[in-house]
Structure 1
Amino acid sequence: MSKLFFDPMKHPEWIQPQTVEWYANLAIETGGYKHPWKSEFDEPRAEIIFADKIATYINEDTRMLDVGCGRGDFTSLFAHKAKEVVGIDVIEGYIASANNKKTGESVKFLVVDADKQLPFPDSFFDVVYTKKGPWLFHEGSQEGRRVIKSGGIVLGLYHCGTDGGLRNLFPGLYNPFPENYLDEVKVKFERQLSESGLEEAELVIFEEVEYLSRPEDVLHKKCFGQSEALKKMVWRECLNDVEEIFRQNATPRGLKVVNYHALMVGRAK
């Protein structure tokens, strides 16, 4: 039986991922949504799949909104392909970093809380998308529907967890997925699309293969966005055993894991 590792999620200092506190801590420690672990991927990566999908809906007359843009690296991919690209995020540190790096007048970055009224005119955007950020088209919210044009395209990419054997190798550190986990993920996002009131709605659940380069990357991936104090505790409690298991199971490219993603696309009425 595999060793049961220390579970950092049970520690009182654990910060729930994807919360405002979690994003704020990332901004302080890394300046943005920047992965601290080293790895390589089988191509195409999830972000490339998403970028290519977005690109099919834009031209030189397109106005785009990136909701939860972080430091703006992904947003800037479309700077010279669209008329205007606006990235918004609630974390001031992210937007400051994005504005320091931006090139060209077609891209704007603004501090905006996506849960409140948006500072844009009605029917302003042709494309609204989010990469792991807030979904503007949830039931009960009208702001996303207000700012997008009729017939405009809505897209979302969401990370749905990592496994590929990772959870069996490091029990406690990584908890096993429930039975029929991906079926439950599919149902969740199908419901989200249904409640969004979009037409021609499409959902794809897909895998992205990643190879973690070093034993400590197993811990970096788990503790992404956590405090330095909690990270030090996890390293002290887990690293030696993680190193042994990593050496036993790594391929020449690193330890193979699988990231699951949900890609949603729909058209505004």
Structure 2
Amino acid sequence: MTARLFDPMQHPDWITPQSAEWHANVALESGEYNYPWQSEFDEPRAELVFADRISAFLDENAQVLDVGCGHGAFTKRFAGKAGEVVGIDVNERYIATANEEKVAGASFLAADAAGPLPFRDNAFDVVYTKKGPWLFNNRTAEGHRILKPGGTVLALYHCGTDGGLRRLFPGLYQSLPDRHLDTMRVQFERQLCDSGLAKVELQLFDEVEYLSRPEDVLIKKCFGQKESLKAIVRQECLKQVEAIFRRNRTPRGLKVVNYHALLVARKESRAH
């Protein structure tokens, strides 16, 4: 049985992932929201699946909003497929990075998705978020104001990583709850039900990733954490992680599985 490793989540300096402080740390490192570990993927990647689903709803006149756009790299890929794509994020450092390289048909501004948005009524044909805020918590939410009747809403959410990762590194990674994916499905079904939108699709799917090096196990866990905590985790865990990694790696690296949920919904064309 694998010995229990140091648990960084119990350290007082642990920052809750996806919190404002966590994003501030990520932005401080490079101004970008990019994964810093080395890995390769089986196809199709979740991001490409999501991009294809978005693209299916675009034409040369489409007005598109990316909610929680980060540093804008994903947003910019739609600039040539739509009339205009706008990216918003509450983190001003991300937005500054997004605006460093201008792309025709794409614009970026700092805005808090939790408050009123600086857009006119019925401004967008497509609103999407990749792991970001959901603007449609009820029928009177801000998202309904800015989305045109008949408009489309898409979302991609990460639902955890396993594929043996949590069994191999107990303590460093915690076990997922029983029937985790069933619980996630119920959660997203409820999210769509409460949104006031017409459900089009809810899909949960796997993405296979191969971590390249033992230290990538630690980097993945500590993404967005303070450098001081990363150093502690490396000191406490790296030797054990190296041994476990060597025993379990494939020719492509250590296989893990990322779970994702894809949501697609539509605003009714007229009131019922």
What's 1:24 paired with?
A: 24
Tell me the TM-score normalized by structure 2. 0.97
Matched residue count: 268
Q: Which structure 2 residues correspond to residues 102-181 of structure 1 after superposition, within 5 A?
A: 102-104=102-104, 106-139=105-138, 142-181=141-180
Shift of 1:30: 2.5
Aligned residue for 2:232, secondary structure, equals helix
Query: Structure 2 unaligned runs (5+)?
Result: none
Q: Which moved more, 1:131-140 or 1:83-92?
A: 131-140
In 1, are the aligned partners of 2:66 and 2:129 still within 8 Å (CA)? yes
The reply on whether 1:236 has 2:235 as its aligned counterpart is yes
User: What is the CA distance between 1:141 and its match in structure 2?
Assistant: 5.4
Could you list the per-position Cα deviations for residues 115-168 of structure 1 after superposition, in whole angstroms to 9, with x for gaps in the alignment? Answer: 010000000100000000000111375210000000100000000100000000
Q: Which amino acid aligns with 2:11?
A: H
Which position in structure 2 is the counterpart of 1:5? Answer: 5
- For residues 45 and 140 of structure 2, what CA distance do their matches in structure 1 show? 31
How far apart, CA to CA, are the structure 2 residues paired with 1:174 and 1:236? 16
Cα distance in 2, alignment partners of residues 32 and 14 from structure 1: 21
| Alpha-carbon distance in structure 2 between the residues aligned to 1:141 and 1:170 | 44
Q: In structure 2, give the amino acid aligned to 1:84.
A: E
In the alignment, the residues of structure 2 paired with residue 174 and residue 95 of structure 1 have an alpha-carbon distance, to the nearest angstrom, of 32
After the TM superposition, which segments of 4 or more aligned residues of structure 1 sit over 4 Å from their partners?
none
Q: Is 2:40 aligned against 1:40? A: yes
Distance 2:139 2:243 in 1: 50
| Aligned equivalents of 2:139, 2:241: Cα separation in 1 | 45
CA contact (8 A) 1:125 1:152 kept: yes
**Separation (CA, whole Å) in 1 of partners of 2:131 and 2:160:** 12
2:139 and 2:196 in contact (8 A); partners too: no
The answer to whether the Cα contact below 8 Å between 1:193 and 1:201 also exists between their aligned partners in 2 is no
1:15 is matched with 15
- String of CA shifts for 1:168-217, please: whole Å, max 9, x gaps: 00000000011111111111111111111111332100000000000000
Tell me the SS of whatever aligns to 1:117: coil
State the alpha-carbon separation in 1 of the partners of residues 164 and 122 from structure 2. 46
Question: 1:31 Cα deviation (Å)?
Answer: 1.3
Q: SS in structure 1 opposite 2:235? A: helix
How many percent of aligned residue pairs carry the same amino acid? 63
